[in-house]
């Protein structure tokens, strides 16, 4: 007999099967994920992973006998009081335990299982790609950064690593029995005391002197700090891809934006945020709200605060420009902007908006998305001022996009449209 411990074997042995399974059920899973996105709070998207799919594409049919045809005899245990000839009514069809009858009579249950966060998001973002995602900068990297790369035995004094150096020194001194200063002082005190004694013990004094000499010799030959001990921090220059993105959320908070419209806008912003987080190591979010004046605010105020006043969109664009100039140099940051509004603006402000966008912002942004929220009960929208104004930009700038949404369910399709592959290639 032989015992083998298999517990440390590679864990994910079933991974290959799992991947094949996910691939198989892809269509259903995608549908389920889409449903989940529609109904769930956007904030939960990254965490909720239980998915219910119908097992249609997961069927494993075999030739099996139909339990509802013909005659059969079988035996059951636990007869209480039946005698031969008793009739027992059959359970009503579909009322049996376990599987419920489905439309095609296959009786297969829905299939529930959990996706990992990674798998969930992968499917969520499948065939979506941010346009110009690979900045020119990513391809031919210019900036470099110093990263730690262990230790080396030589280097400039400024990079001396004291802890390592002293650790080596201490170890070497202990190993070579270098007497410490305390030993020396104790010995000297002993000599002094011995010499001060009245009947001088010459033998002892001589021996002490010999020891003193030896100690001095050892201290001299075994250096306190030897070049051998020195350790220096080592750094390497590594090309630094631009892996940071900043996302500007611009929103009209004037009175015409109701809570519901804000909620719509919020979902859009959060989806964009999740998406950026997947592609960039670091994502900053800047919230700019505006009425007839614009200000950078924190998230809380952005979504819940109320302001009254007219609507001048250009103020927000100016504010955005200011923030970019101050904190987010275009050379280091991928800039994305998402603007949400109900489409109202002072009509004489549109020209200024277009000016700012065309002159500056659009060339600095990777992508500028405008989403117009409206309520569905208003029927088909009449084109709003902003919509009409922005339509000019559509043909000229491939990194500008605009969409309308009137219902939480619309958000995801809008999002997909905005960042779908075709769009990116167009």
Q: Could you list the residues that contact another protein (CB under 8 A)?
A: 1-7, 9, 11, 13-14, 16-25, 58-80, 82-90, 104-106, 111-114
| Token duo for residue 279 | 């592609």
Q: With the C-alpha atoms ordered 155, 157, 163, 169, is the resulting torsion angle positive or negative?
A: positive
Which of 27, 166 has the CB closer to another protein?
27
Closer to another protein at the Cβ: 117 or 200?
Answer: 117
Q: How far is the CB of 136 from another protein (least distance, A)?
A: 36
Nearer to another protein, 98 or 382 (CB): 98
Exposure b/e, 164-180, CB count within 10 A at least 16 = b: ebeebbeebbeeeebbe
Query: In terms of CB distance, is 18 or 211 closer to another protein?
Result: 18
Q: Which is nearer to another protein, 105 or 180 (CB)?
A: 105
Residue closer to another protein (CB basis): 111 or 151 = 111
> Nearest distance from residue 15's CB to another protein, in Å?
9
Least distance from another protein to the Cβ atom of residue 41, Å = 24
CB of 111 to another protein, least distance (A): 7
CA distances from 32 to 50, 113, 235, 383, 419 (A): 10, 11, 48, 34, 20
Judged by CB, which is closer to another protein: 80, or 203? 80
Structure tokens at 379: 């029927």
Query: Using CA atoms, how far apart are residues 362 and 358, in angstroms rounded to an integer?
Result: 6
Q: How far is the CB of 321 from another protein (least distance, A)?
A: 51
**Token pair 């905005």: residue:** 418
Tokens of 222: 């075994």
Minimum CB separation of residue 82 from another protein in Å reads 5
CB of 101 to another protein, least distance (A): 11
Residue whose CB is less far from another protein, 60 or 378: 60
**Nearest 10 degrees: CA dihedral of 221, 222, 226, 231?**
170
Q: Which of 347, 357, 343, 367 is nearest to 393 (CA)?
A: 357
Ramachandran angles phi, psi of 287, nearest 5°: -105, 125
Beta-carbon neighbour count of residue 154 at 10 Å?
Answer: 10
Six-digit token string for 43: 């904030």
Q: What minimum distance in Å lies between the beta carbon of 34 and another protein?
A: 20
Q: How far apart are alpha carbons 191 and 21 in whole angstroms? A: 86
**Whether the Cβ atoms of residue 375 and residue 264 lie closer than 8 Å to each other:** no
């Amino acid at each position: 007999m032989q015992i083998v411990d298999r517990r440390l074997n590679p864990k994910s042995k079933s991974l290959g099967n799992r991947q094949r399974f996910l691939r198989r059920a892809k269509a259903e899973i995608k549908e389920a994920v889409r449903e989940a996105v529609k109904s769930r709070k956007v904030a939960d998207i990254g965490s909720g992973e239980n998915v219910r799919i119908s097992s249609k594409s997961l069927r494993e049919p075999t030739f099996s006998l139909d339990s509802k045809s013909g005659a059969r005899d079988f035996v059951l245990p636990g007869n209480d009081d039946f005698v031969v000839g008793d009739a027992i009514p059959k359970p009503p069809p579909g009322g049996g335990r376990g599987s419920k009858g489905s439309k095609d009579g296959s009786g297969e249950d829905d299939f529930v299982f959990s996706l990992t966060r990674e798998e969930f998001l992968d499917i969520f973002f499948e065939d979506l790609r941010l346009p110009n995602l690979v900045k020119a900068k990513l391809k031919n990297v210019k900036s470099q950064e110093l990263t730690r790369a262990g230790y080396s035995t030589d280097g400039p004094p400024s990079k001396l690593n004291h802890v390592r150096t002293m650790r080596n020194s201490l170890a070497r001194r202990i190993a070579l029995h270098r007497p410490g200063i305390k030993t020396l002082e104790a010995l000297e005190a002993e000599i002094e005391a011995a010499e001060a004694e009245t009947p001088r013990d010459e033998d002892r004094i001589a021996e002490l002197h010999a020891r003193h000499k030896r100690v001095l010799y050892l201290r001299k030959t075994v250096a306190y700090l030897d070049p051998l001990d020195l350790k220096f921090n080592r750094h390497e220059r590594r090309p630094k891809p631009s892996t940071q993105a900043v996302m500007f959320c611009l929103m009209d908070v004037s009175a015409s934006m109701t809570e519901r419209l804000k909620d719509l806008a919020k979902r859009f912003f959060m989806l964009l945020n999740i998406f950026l987080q997947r592609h960039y190591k670091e994502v900053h979010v800047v919230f700019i709200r505006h009425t007839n004046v614009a200000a950078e605010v924190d998230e809380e105020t952005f979504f819940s605060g109320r302001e009254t006043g007219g609507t001048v969109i250009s103020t927000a664009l100016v504010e955005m420009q200011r923030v970019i100039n101050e904190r987010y140099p275009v050379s280091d940051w991928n800039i994305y902007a998402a603007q949400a509004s109900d489409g109202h603006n002072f009509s004489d402000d549109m020209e200024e908006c277009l000016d700012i966008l065309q002159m500056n912002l659009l060339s600095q942004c990777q992508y500028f998305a405008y989403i117009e929220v409206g309520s569905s009960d208003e029927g088909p929208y009449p084109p709003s001022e902003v919509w009409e104004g922005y339509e000019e930009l559509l043909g000229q700038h491939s990194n500008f996009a605009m969409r309308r949404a009137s219902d939480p369910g619309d958000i995801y399709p809008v999002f997909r449209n905005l960042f779908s592959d075709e769009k990116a290639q167009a």
